[in-house]
Amino acid sequence: MIELQNAAYNYGGGDMLSEISLKLAPGSFHFLTGPSGAGKSTFLKLCYMELTATAGQVQMFGKDVRGMSRDDIARARRRIGVVHQDCRFLDHLSVRKNVALPLTVSGHDPAQEADNLRELLTWVGLDHRADALPQELSGGERQRAALARAIIMSPDVILADEPTGNVDSEMSQRLLQLLIELNKMGKTVVIATHELALIRMAKSQVNTRVLRIADRRVRLAGADL
């Protein structure tokens, strides 16, 4: 799915990440952990091609990112759903319209997808909030709306950057359950998080691998988590 070979990234002041070699296999479930500022978001940005590695190789779905045309990149991005750390919405649009935005942007008629949209909002527990405006949502509702928007195009890979950052532990568990369900449907999932409790909870339900970023490297964490 996504493969990095000796990849590095630097923002201009020396390598932020270096010598990263790993594969995110189809259907795998990874956590990405490490101290604040270690480079978790940077790593995810390499995985969804917002950033291009400054050294080494990144392959997406079997193709080297550097050799990809704009169309190839757009196609590959459609296969990746991203839940951003600061999940932003268009404030003047309802939750339903915000969640449907990727459909609208890619030329689909959201009216034709009304049933899917309703089903998705029900699945994340927001059917009763579909007409609300984003600023009327609680933190946990915002995160679930962001997750719904990330998966509306039915991506193969879901990258979630601190999806439980601003919510209580009950809501964290609920979000985690949604991500586990997606993984059970065959989606590849990567979650950046500081919450070890979340990782432990997932480990009891799915086969997870924990990646830890420290000293610019991404390594597989030990089994002691």
Ligand X SMILES: Nc1ncnc2c1ncn2[C@@H]1O[C@H](COP(=O)(O)OP(=O)(O)OP(=O)(O)O)[C@@H](O)[C@H]1O
DSSP per residue over the chain, as a string? -EEEEEEEEESSSSEEEEEEEEEE-TT-EEEEE-STTSSHHHHHHHHTTSS--SEEEEEETTEEGGG--HHHHHHHHHTEEEE-TT----TTS-HHHHHHHHHHHTT--GGGGHHHHHHHHHHTT-GGGTTS-GGGS-HHHHHHHHHHHHHTT--SEEEEESTTTTS-HHHHHHHHHHHHHHHHTT-EEEEE-S-HHHHHHHHTTS-EEEEEEETTEEEE--TT-
What one-letter code names the amino acid at 181? E
Minimum CB separation of residue 9 from ligand X in Å reads: 9
Minimum CB separation of residue 168 from ligand X in Å reads: 19
- Please identify, using beta-carbon distances, which residue of 33 and 98 lies nearer to ligand X: 33
- Please identify, using beta-carbon distances, which residue of 48 and 99 lies nearer to ligand X: 48
Q: Which residues contact ligand X by CB under 6 A?
A: 11, 16, 34, 36-42
- Report phi then psi at 120, rounded to 5: -65, -45
- Please identify, using beta-carbon distances, which residue of 120 and 146 lies nearer to ligand X: 146
Minimum CB separation of residue 34 from ligand X in Å reads: 6
- Please identify, using beta-carbon distances, which residue of 83 and 100 lies nearer to ligand X: 83
Sheet holding 55-60: strands in order across? 15-24, 2-10, 55-60, 63-64
Minimum CB separation of residue 62 from ligand X in Å reads: 26
- Please identify, using beta-carbon distances, which residue of 13 and 186 lies nearer to ligand X: 13
Minimum CB separation of residue 20 from ligand X in Å reads: 13
- Please identify, using beta-carbon distances, which residue of 40 and 187 lies nearer to ligand X: 40
Minimum CB separation of residue 51 from ligand X in Å reads: 9
